[in-house]
């Protein structure tokens, strides 16, 4: 039985570049657009983007485009926010992932090529060590 998995990471970047240059930047780090349709599991991730818009209210006024992207073997939900004056300029890009640790790696690569990180939350599970031996006082 499959469990419904929620968002494990959310990231927001300020871009201020045209559409073609933004997509080229994403392809340079290994993120590619997927042409497959959204499924139920992807719509569950949109709740995290809605909460991100509550944190940064200026995103609510911008037009946007939802897309699926692939980074290695991981699917990311991506939301491109366009400038109010020109739909050729992408102002912000938001990512949501179901896999822990992915957005941290993506973020490092995007910051290297000049993107400005506005917000990142990446839930990474902590490995617990088994304690062996006896404790004496």
Tens digit of each residue's pLDDT, the chain (137 residues): 455 567 888 999 999 999 999 999 999 999 999 987 766 667 777 888 888 888 899 999 999 999 999 999 888 999 999 999 988 999 999 999 988 889 999 999 999 999 999 999 888 777 776 666 555 55
Domains of the chain: 9-122 (3.30.310)
pTM of structure: 0.83
For residues 12 and 121, is the Cβ–Cβ distance under 8 A?
Answer: no
How far is 108 from 70, CA to CA, in rounded Å? 17
């Amino acid at each position: 039985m499959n469990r419904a998995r929620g968002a494990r990471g959310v990231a927001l970047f300020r871009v201020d570049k045209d559409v073609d240059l933004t997509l080229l930047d994403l392809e340079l780090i290994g993120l590619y657009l997927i042409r497959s349709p959204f499924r139920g599991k992807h719509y569950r991730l949109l709740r995290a983007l809605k909460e991100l818009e509550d944190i940064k209210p200026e995103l609510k006024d911008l037009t946007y485009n939802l897309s699926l992207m692939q980074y290695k073997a991981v699917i990311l939900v991506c939301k491109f926010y366009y400038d109010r004056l020109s739909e050729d300029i992408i102002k912000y890009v938001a990512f949501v992932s179901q896999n822990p640790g992915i957005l941290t790696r993506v973020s490092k690569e995007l910051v290297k090529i000049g993107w400005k990180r506005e917000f990142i939350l990446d839930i990474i599970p902590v490995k617990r060590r088994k304690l062996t031996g006896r404790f004496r006082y």
